[in-house]
Amino acid sequence: MSGTLLISDHVLEAYQAEFRRPATSIYLLDVSGSMRGERIANLKTALEVLTGTDTRGSAARYARFQNREHVMLLPFSSEPGYPVRFNFENLDAKARTESNLRAYVESLSAGGGTAIYSALDLAYDLAYQEQSRYPGRMVTVVLLTDGQNNRGLPYSEFRARWAGRSAGGADPIRTFPILFGEASSSELDDIARLSGGRSFDARTTHLRDVFREIRGYQ
């Protein structure tokens, strides 16, 4: 690497770690029965981009979770699971936090139905709590699902709740649905549009590459 490129690399790293607006990323992870086998294995592999295990390509280091970032993982199947928080508060503890996150992801197993909108509704509650607790922090939601909603809130009720939050003055939480499998693109596209986010189709792009691209918005 040339001296100029090396300096640019260090400047970008410093920006990511110290000067960039602090962020909270909430990941909704579908672990329903349809995720068994190759799909949940692909999900775990894709998350390696975020924890620094996957170092392929020059963009890998900037895709990983950054210093000062807060991360919540919320698995869901027939109902939302328990949100697990990983805070990357300082560089000294970063490797240990990444290791704990990887161990948690590796422990995920698939089974049950698919409560997409109940999980997303809970994620928004968590997001607004995070904004209230940490004013000025950018909060985003990433929803990954391979199936149709068949448990919990129907889309119509979720949509009404979303409208109620907006009517109460709450700013939309930018949401990035990742579609693969049999997921309903029209409903998830609508969620992305309403929130100012963007939907991604992992049926035509490798899930790992989708995760990397989303990091550019967070």
Residue 84, domain CATH:
3.40.50.410
Of 217 and 56, the one with more pLDDT: 217
Band of pLDDT at residue 18, cut at 50, 70 and 90? low
Q: Flag whether 24 is in a domain.
A: no
Domain containing residue 108: 29-215
Q: Flag whether 18 is in a domain.
A: no
Amino acid at 141: V
Which phi-psi region, left, alpha or beta, contains residue 143 (left: φ > 0; alpha: ψ -120 to 50)?
beta
Q: Flag whether 1 is in a domain.
A: no
Q: Flag whether 23 is in a domain.
A: no
Residue 28, strand partner residues: 74, 143
Cβ contacts of 100 within 8 Å, gap of 6 or more: 86
Q: Flag whether 138 is in a domain.
A: yes
pLDDT in the model for residue 167: 80
Other Cβ atoms within 10 Å of 93 Cβ, number? 13
Of 50 and 41, the one with more pLDDT: 41
Q: Flag whether 62 is in a domain.
A: yes
**What CA dihedral angle connects 89, 21, 175 and 54, to 10 degrees?**
-60
Q: Flag whether 134 is in a domain.
A: yes
Of 91 and 143, the one with more pLDDT: 143
Mean pLDDT of 131-160: 93
Of 209 and 75, the one with more pLDDT: 75
